[in-house]
Structure 1
């Protein structure tokens, strides 16, 4: 009897051990996406001129452009966002709230900035409490601006011809952006800036920047790390402001479009929407 009981006890112990091992070895299951994500990459409607190539925008407060903005805002609003995230520094949230409230109640005219022309307009029409500032634009762990100054590195390493070729490529892309806006509507321009073709061309521009410098002086790569880090910080701010069930509309400079969409997709948190679908009339909202 003792032998039989011993064998039973041993078998139970082995079974318990194997069950424990199986439990430890089983990979955890990632949570499923619990929010929707729509990014609308925009040109800067107030002409700040901060980029290497800048689309020169005529007055978006003019009657024609206001009609076009109202039309494209109506198309985007079909998404029915529950949160609208915008390119404004997180420290400016209080001012953003005050400006939104005043503009939404007709006590303040909206400025030319796309944060207001699209973000405020859609949030007000959808009866949202405001828009959420999610921008971050600091050096972070980068120790000095010299370590990301790829223009200086181009001079040091005689890469001027390479840079000139890259500028020609960028100018050709920007010239087409300019023609699209000049000859078409605000909606046409936004559709272009969110198209797969434009996003591919934009991604390659950052790849080219990464090649400036040398293996021992990789300043172009340093700059790309800074750019990626900025987008990651922005995306983390978006996630922190997102709750399960949210339909998140992000309105940002088009140059952020590749990384913010990629991060949203890779995170597993969001169902990432096809922006071009929401920018075209006649396509179903869902």
Structure 2
């Protein structure tokens, strides 16, 4: 009879490391979750104009320069922005214009941080990685069915949306009063990311055990969009790359989860490079 041999934790970890050596990691990735500096108004909650951060003011521009300087210490080889990957050619043209004219009068964070840092580091290109979700390609009758389920489930989610809108209004006061670097560190904290992700889980309660419309909509819309963005990052990652990703903070929880578990990428912590 064979006697089972006891294995130590160290032996197990060593064998796993042999199967998945550090050499398999192609790229480092640093996520910076942001609010949209130009307030495009595409989300359900709209920030009142009086509460919007004036990113072009002298004080805020100094804060942008400070943040850019700190992000440069990461020494990114690629800078990725929340712009449709299908429109990379248009982004290339915008960056080419920026390199010529320093269009820092644009409020968008793509200009204020992405283009500014890329030019400073003499990058030839800034990379787009956003994607429309699979939901957009579903048949119209499927979309109509899901819309009907959401309409019927409105009482289930309204109270939660009212609460989140209270939070967003309070967050506007924080954004307005805090220095940019300090606010972004707060925005990227574990607790803030937990709260921001929670709003996307409100509608998953809609439907039934046999027809969970809210769960299906989450998979084909919000989650799908983020995993497509992650997929684009995978294709962008080359051996030895250090990729800085500038993206709306709402995307960070899902992207962070995917990157932490990706076998060929290493997720870096923001507070390694940006500190209070």
**TM-score (ref. length: structure 2):** 0.83
**Residue in 2 that maps onto 1:167:** 161
Write out per-residue CA displacement over residues 147-199 of structure 1, whole angstroms, 9 at most, x where no aligned residue: 4676642432xx44432221133123312321211111222331222110011
Label 1:190 to 1:97 Cα distance change in 2 as closer, same or farther (>3 A).
Answer: same
**1:240 to 1:168, Cα distance in 2 relative to 1, 3 A:** same
Q: Check whether the contact 1:154–1:163 (CA below 8 A) recurs between aligned residues.
A: no
- Tell me whether 1:215 sits opposite 2:209 in the alignment: yes
Q: Does 1:59 align with 2:46?
A: no
Matches within 5 A, 1:1-286: 29-30=19-20, 32=22, 33-56=25-48, 57-106=52-101, 108-139=103-134, 143-144=138-139, 147=142, 152-156=148-152, 159-226=153-220, 227-281=222-276
Residue aligned with 1:271, SS: strand
1:252 Cα deviation from its structure 2 partner: 0.6
**CA-to-aligned-CA distance 1:95-147 (integer Å, 9 cap, x gap):** 21122122123264452111111111111111111210111114358624664
Shift of the alpha carbon at 1:37?
A: 0.7
- State the secondary structure of the residue aligned to 1:217: coil
* Cα deviation digits, residues 221-270 of structure 1 (max 9, x gap): 12210221111111111111111111000001111001111111111222
Taking the aligned partners of 2:140 and 2:134, their CA distance within structure 1 comes to: 8
Q: Which runs of 5+ in 1 are unaligned?
A: 1-25, 282-286
Q: Measured at CA, do residues 203 and 109 of structure 1 come closer, stay the same or move farther in structure 2, by a change above 3 Å?
A: closer
Contact 2:27 2:241 in 1 (8 A): yes
> Which structure 2 segments of 5+ residues have no match?
1-14
Question: Which segment is superposed worse, 228-237 or 102-111?
Answer: 102-111
Q: Distance in 2 between matches of 1:127 and 1:182?
A: 32
Instruction: Find the counterpart in structure 2 of residue 12 from structure 1.
Output: none
**Partners of 1:175 and 1:146 in 2: CA distance:** 36
Give the total of aligned pairs.
254
Q: CA deviation at 1:209?
A: 1.9
Deviates most, 184-193 or 75-84: 184-193
Give RMSD over aligned pairs: 2.4
Moved more, 198-207 or 250-259: 198-207
Secondary structure of the structure 2 residue equivalent to 1:105 = helix
Could you tell me whether the CA contact under 8 Å between 1:43 and 1:55 is conserved in 2? no
Q: TM-score, normalised by structure 1?
A: 0.80
